[in-house]
Amino acid sequence: MIRMKGYLLGTALGLSLAGAGWAEEDTIKVGVLHSLSGTMAISETTLKDTVLMLIDEQNKKGGLLGKKLEAVVVDPASDWPLFAEKARELLTVSDVDVIFGCWTSVSRKSVLPVIEELNGLLFYPVQYEGEESSKNVFYTGAAPNQQAIPAVNYFLNELGVQKFALLGTDYVYPRTTNNILQAYLKDAGIPESDIFVNYTPFGHSDWSKIVADVKALGADGKKVGVISTINGDANIGFYKELAAAGISADDIPVVAFSVGEEELSGLDTSNLVGHLAAWNYFQSAESPENEAFVAAWKARMGETRVTNDPMEATYIGFNMWANAVAQAGSTEVDAVADAMVGQKFPNLTGSESEMLANHHLTKPVLIGEIQEDGQFDIVSQTEPVPGDAWTDFLPESAVLESDWKGLKCGMYNTQTETCVQIKSNY
C-alpha cells in the first residue's frame, strides 16, 4: 500500500491512471442520499459535502477502473418515505453503482426494501441500534456495543451514576437502543425504578418540563445521568434548556450519541463544558491521517468547518469501497460486496478498521468532554471493538449470528441452525 497525504491508495487502484483522460460518458455513478433540508439537514448536509470531497480526491488519483467517479445528489428532505422514492430513483433512473446515505434508522429502514429488491449497495455511516444485517448494506457507524454500552459503563464506573434518564427522539434507533440499555442496566443492578425513559418528536423544541423532570430525579440524593439519543435540531433546544435550568455536567452529566462537532458549532457551548459524547472519532484525535483529513476538509470548506464521527465513517466506507471495486475489477454489487469483507483501512484515530463478515466494522470507542470551543477532550479511548449486528442483551437476539461470508446469512439462529428472515424493528 502507498500512503499519500494521509490517504491510502492500493496499488490495485492503478497509480498509472493518475492524470489519465477518460471518456466523459464513461463514469462510475455514486449516489448521495442525505437530507439537505428539513430537521436532519443540520447533520446530513455535511455528509453530502464529505462524499463530494472523497469523490474529488479519488478522481485526482485517477478514478477507479479507468473511469471517472460522478456524484448523483438527491435531497430526501428529512421525509422518511421520500428516502425510499429517492433510493429507487438513484438505482433505476440514475443507475448509480453505490449509494452513500441516510442518517436516521427510520430513513435506512425506509430504503432497505428498495435496496434489497433492486440489489443495490448502501453504505450507512451513522451509529445505530443494531438488530440488522443486510447483504446489501455496510454499516460503518457504531453498533450499540461500540457506543451505547461503553458510554453506560463510563457513567457507572467513572462517574458513579446511580439513576439514568434515557431521553430520545421517537423513532426506531432510540427505542431499540434504550431497550438494550434498560436490559443492560438491570443486569448491572440498576432497579427499573431508577431508569426514566422519555421520547419526543423530531424537531421538538419545548424542553422545560422534561428537563425539570430529569432534575427532580435527583431529589433522593442519587447521582443522575442522561443518556441522550435525541437527534437532529431538537438538540439545540435541549441543551439551551439545560443551560437555562442551571444544570452543569457536575450536577447531571449528559452523554450524547448524536451530538458531535457539527451540532455544537451552532450552539453557545460555554454552559455545556464537561458534558459528554460517545463516538468512534473526534476532530481532536491525534494521528497523521486525521491531521491530513482535517486539513483537506478545511481547505475545501473553510477554516470554521469542523469534522465529526459520521464523516470518518463515510471516509472509511468510501475508501474500503474503492479498494473493493479495484480488487473485484468491477462495480457489480455482488462482486464488490464479496470483496468488502476483510477490507482493512486506517481510521483517523491511529488504529485500523476492518470490515467483518457481518458487514460491521471494528471501531475504537471514544468518550469526549465538550470544551468551550465546541471541540472534545478525549477522556477515554479503547482499541478497535468488533461491531455486533445482534446484541447479547436481548434474549431473542443473543441466539442470532450474522455471517455473509461463510453462512451467507444475516440472521442465523444458532439454536435451530437455520437462516431466517430479517425481522422488522417497527
Residue 11 reports pLDDT greater than 60:
no
> b/e for 200-209, b at 16 or more Cβ within 10 A?
bebebeebee
- Band of pLDDT at residue 13, cut at 50, 70 and 90: very low
Beta-carbon contacts of 393 under 8 Å, excluding residues fewer than 6 positions away, are 149, 180, 183, 184, 187
For the segment 290-303, what is each residue's pLDDT rounded down to a tens digit? Answer: 999 999 999 999 99
Query: pTM of the prediction?
Result: 0.88
Q: What is the mean pLDDT of residues 378-389?
A: 96
- The reported pLDDT for the residue numbered 26 is 85
Residue 25 reports pLDDT greater than 90:
no
- The reported pLDDT for the residue numbered 309 is 96
For the segment 65-121, what is each residue's pLDDT rounded down to a tens digit? Answer: 999 999 999 999 999 999 999 999 999 999 999 999 999 999 999 999 999 999 999
Percentage of residues in the chain having pLDDT higher than 90: 86
- The reported pLDDT for the residue numbered 22 is 59
Domains along the chain with CATH numbers: 2-142+284-361 (3.40.50.2300), 145-279 (3.40.50.2300)
Residue 177 reports pLDDT greater than 80:
yes
- The reported pLDDT for the residue numbered 422 is 57
Task: Provide the 10 A C-beta neighbour count for residue 60.
Answer: 12
Q: What is the mean pLDDT of residues 249-255?
A: 96
Beta-carbon contacts of 268 under 8 Å, excluding residues fewer than 6 positions away, are 243
For residues 51 and 54, what is the distance between their CA atoms, to the nearest angstrom? 5
Contact between 362 and 353 (Cβ < 8 Å): yes
- The reported pLDDT for the residue numbered 10 is 38
Nearest to 128 by CA among 97, 116, 120, 111: 111
